Amino acid sequence: MKYVFHSDAAKELDESFHYYENEYAGRGYRFVRKVEECARRICRYPQLGAEELPNIRRMVVDRFPYKIIYMLHNAEIIILAIAHSHRMPVYWKKRAEK
């Protein structure tokens, strides 16, 4: 199984990378590496994440206050959001409808 990023989730990842990298050199790369590790784990075990909404799951990114919001669609993992844990809980919900 493979994963793809919703365009808005890709932007969130990029913005978070730049934030962490500007804060401390190398931290942005560690963040992206943790997100990729998490995404690969989701591909191996799609049902592992806790259910956020029907057919939409979340998995916490290790060592960072972020979670990956994803859904399974046509044997593919769609990453809907790279969501900060303190953001509005379901701001990404409309992404699942597209």
SS (H, E, C) the chain: CEEEECHHHHHHHHHHHHHHHHHCCCHHHHHHHHHHHHHHHHHHCCCCCEEEECCEEEEECCCCCEEEEEEEECCEEEEEEEEECCCCCCCCHHHHHC
* Confidence at residue 5, expressed as pLDDT on a 0 to 100 scale: 98
Query: How many alpha carbons lie under 13 Å from residue 92 in its C-beta half-sphere?
Result: 29
pLDDT digits (tens, 9 = 90+) for 27-42: 999 999 999 999 999 9
The parts of the chain modelled with pLDDT lower than 50 are none
CATH annotation of 2-97: 3.30.2310.20
Q: Which tokens sit at 4?
A: 């793809």
| Domain residue extents for the chain | 2-97
